[in-house]
Amino acid sequence: MLLDQVKKSNYKQDKVTERPLRSVLKAISWRVVGTIDTIVISWILTGEMKTALAIGSVELVTKMLLYFGHERIWDKINYGRQ
Whether the pLDDT of residue 78 is over 60: the answer is yes
Establish how many alpha carbons lie within 13 A of residue 43's alpha carbon, considering only the half-sphere containing its beta carbon.
10
Indicate the pTM of the whole model.
Answer: 0.57
User: What residue segments make up the domains of the chain, in order of their start?
Assistant: 18-75
Rg of the chain taking only CA atoms, in angstroms: 18
Please list, in sequence order, all residues whose beta carbon lies within 8 angstroms of the beta carbon of residue 71, skipping any fewer than 6 positions away. 18, 23, 26, 27
Q: What is the DSSP letter of 16?
A: S
pLDDT at 9: 53
* Residues present in the chain in total: 82
Q: pLDDT tens across 15-56, in order?
A: 678 888 998 888 788 878 999 999 999 999 999 999 999 999
